Amino acid sequence: MPKACPRWYRQPRSWRCSLGGDEGIRPLGTRRVLSTDVIGQDALDAARRGEAEGLEFLFHELATPLATFADRRGATDPEGLANATLFRAFNALAGFDGEYPQFCSYVYRTARNLLIDEYRRKTRRPEVVDLAAAGPSISLSQTEDEVAGQDWLNQMLAQLTVDQRDVILLRVIGDQSLQHTADVLGKPVSAVKALQRRALRRLHTLTEEEGHTCTH
């Protein structure tokens, strides 16, 4: 008989969130909780055993949202920071005894610490950039509307405090629960809820001032 594939192998991602309700941001349905966390736990266990497929799943599941989180937080090299974060996380797997949601929180906490270190380095010394070598910063596959949309979103996020921005990015992009967001930020859940309410209220005010209509 052929060997059965692990249930997490080549499973599609379910990465959707919506705004509203008591928490403000919540998964759509139950598939994200019942499927992705279970599949992620299987992959994490496999990665702990040194199985390449487990590491591959974790990388593909986390690399893109990590890079987006880093980009929205102003990282010089978002993809490089995401790779550095996962490299550290994978090296620490042997000593990690939590479950998959806790591992995700640990990964985002590591990324946030790297972003803080990068910001401190930038403030200590000016950065010299070779514009000729740097090349275009926008992918040729991006349309003008996509670029404008990203610029507008970055402008909106820039109007929030650092903690408010981190809460929104972790909850929406990172798909982290209130508890796990609190773990990443080192704050109580009540403080995260307050930051989220203030951030959403501020974003709502800003979109009204800009004349934009948000649909979810």
User: Residue 148 has which token pair?
Assistant: 């404008």
Residue-level pLDDT at 150: 60
Segments forming the whole domain that contains residue 41: 17-67+75-124+144-210
Which of 100 and 28 is assigned the larger pLDDT? 100
Please determine, for residue 132, whether its predicted confidence score (pLDDT) is greater than 80: no
First to last CA, the chain: 47
Residue 203 confidence class, pLDDT cut points 50, 70, 90: confident
Say if 45 falls within a structural domain: yes
Q: Is residue 158 part of a domain?
A: yes
* CATH classification at residue 104: 1.10.10.10
Mean pLDDT of the chain: 74
For residue 2, pLDDT beyond 60: no
Q: Is residue 82 part of a domain?
A: yes
CB of 97 closer than 8 Å to CB of 137: no
Least confident range of 46-60, 116-130, 133-147, 166-180: 133-147
> What's the whole-number mean pLDDT along residues 159-172?
89
Report the C-alpha gap between 66 and 89 in whole angstroms: 12
Residue 89 lies inside a defined structural domain of this protein: yes
Confirm whether 190 is domain-assigned.
yes
> Quick check: 145 pLDDT over 60?
no
164 domain residue, yes or no:
yes
Task: Give the pLDDT confidence score for residue 23 in this predicted structure.
Answer: 41
- Residue 35 falls inside a structural domain: yes
pTM assigned to the model: 0.64
Q: Using CA atoms, how far apart are residues 200 and 152, in angstroms rounded to an integer?
A: 16
Q: Taking 90 as the threshold, does the pLDDT of residue 127 lie above it?
A: no
Q: Would you say 197 and 169 are in contact if contact means Cβ atoms under 8 Å apart?
A: no
The CA–CA distances, whole Å, from 143 to 17, 70, 139, 150, 183 equal: 25, 22, 9, 11, 37
The structural domain count of the chain equals 1
Tens digits of residue pLDDT in 75-117: 889 999 999 999 999 999 988 888 999 999 999 999 999 998 8
The highest-confidence range among 74-88, 110-124, 134-148, by mean pLDDT, is: 74-88
Task: Tell me the average pLDDT across 29-58.
Answer: 78
Residue 80 lies in a domain: yes
Contact 82, 114 (CB under 8 A): no
